[in-house]
Amino acid sequence: MKCALVLLFFVASSFVKPADRVKDRVIIPDGYHLASPDSFGQWLGDLPLKPVGTPTRNYRGEIARTDAYTAGVIDMSLGKRDLQQCADAVMRLRAEYLYQQKKYNTIAFNFTSGFKCDYLHYANGYRYANGKWVLKSGKDHSYKTFLNYMDLVFSYAGTLSLEKELVKVNTAAELKAGDVFIKGGSPGHCFMVMAIAENSTHEKKFLLAQSFMPAQDIQLLKNANGNAWFDLSSPANIPYGELVNLKFLKRFN
């Protein structure tokens, strides 16, 4: 039994390093190198992770039911409500990037109803009521206001609305960090591509992140065998792994 446990630990740990950023946590496969990302992809790769071995927890503080698939936990707030689920995590990552870049006028997501919920309206004191903006407060561009805005988005948007906002990626060669595998539905699901590794023949492997239901930490994922690198030619042995397929691949415009 002891030998088996030692072997299990070796297999589980041979893919990860005690690094504190997404792009440094997982050992790059032999013959591959990290692809040069665009600005959003660079930001995703530089996201801080909690220490190796940190479990994924849900919004109640309990170990998440997806914890067995954790390669790392992104060090980002979750909140105390059951809001930041699968599509919400993708929108949170995109919005956090735009907020940190001070591109406030580009932060906007559609509700499932079709209502466009933009951050500038919210930061300027408008609140959503009965399908429209109503001025109810003063201007406040603080990070707390941003998080409150995201909670509003999480409450009324989801995979159905996000899937419609994203644009189709047509070929595997176009795959890049920041892309999203998504299938809209109730609930539907989605994954975000966090980093790309490429070999000399331009074959690509990639890291994925997700949240889940109930709301949980955004986790960097690994397959059932412990390997965190996914590709389009092999089955993804994770819940909703069938979505890791070119026909579900989209990106922010």
Domain boundary among 133, 163, 193: 163
Token representation of residue 1: 């039994």
Regarding whether 129 and 55 lie in a shared domain, the answer is no
Q: How many domains, in total, are found in the chain?
A: 2
Judge whether residue 16 has pLDDT over 80.
no
Regarding whether 91 and 158 lie in a shared domain, the answer is yes
Q: Are the beta carbons of 209 and 94 closer than 8 angstroms?
A: no
Regarding whether 134 and 73 lie in a shared domain, the answer is no
Regarding whether 27 and 98 lie in a shared domain, the answer is no
Judge whether residue 117 has pLDDT over 70.
yes
Looking at the DSSP assignment, which residues form a beta bridge with residue 208? 193
Q: Using the Cα atoms of residue 146, residue 129, residue 182 and residue 88 in order, give the sign of their dihedral.
A: positive
| Residue at 139 is within a domain | yes
Judge whether residue 175 has pLDDT over 80.
yes
Query: Cα(190)–Cα(222) distance, rounded to whole angstroms?
Result: 15
DSSP 208: E
Domain boundary among 112, 131, 163: 163
Regarding whether 106 and 67 lie in a shared domain, the answer is no
| Residue at 1 is within a domain | no
Query: Cα(66)–Cα(134) distance, rounded to whole angstroms?
Result: 39
Domain interval for residue 50: 17-78+167-251
Regarding whether 70 and 98 lie in a shared domain, the answer is no
Tell me the pairing of strands 204-210 and 188-199.
antiparallel
Rounded to two decimals, what is the model's pTM?
0.92
What is the signed CA dihedral for 144, 149, 155, 157, rounded to 10 degrees? -140
| Residue at 22 is within a domain | yes
Looking at the DSSP assignment, which residues form a beta bridge with residue 181? 191, 249
Query: Cα(122)–Cα(218) distance, rounded to whole angstroms?
Result: 25
Task: Give the SS3 label for residue 10.
Answer: helix
User: What is the tens place of the pLDDT at every residue in 39-83?
Assistant: 999 999 999 999 999 999 999 999 999 999 999 999 999 999 999
Token representation of residue 205: 């492997």
pLDDT at residue number 54: 97
Regarding whether 115 and 95 lie in a shared domain, the answer is yes
Q: How confident is the model at residue 14 (pLDDT cuts 50, 70, 90)?
A: very low
Regarding whether 68 and 177 lie in a shared domain, the answer is yes
| Residue at 108 is within a domain | yes
Q: How confident is the model at residue 170 (pLDDT cuts 50, 70, 90)?
A: very high
Q: How confident is the model at residue 218 (pLDDT cuts 50, 70, 90)?
A: very high
| Residue at 209 is within a domain | yes
Regarding whether 245 and 145 lie in a shared domain, the answer is no
Judge whether residue 32 has pLDDT over 90.
yes
Q: How confident is the model at residue 11 (pLDDT cuts 50, 70, 90)?
A: very low
Token representation of residue 223: 């397959």
Judge whether residue 2 has pLDDT over 60.
no
Domain boundary among 163, 196, 222: 163
Token representation of residue 195: 């980093």
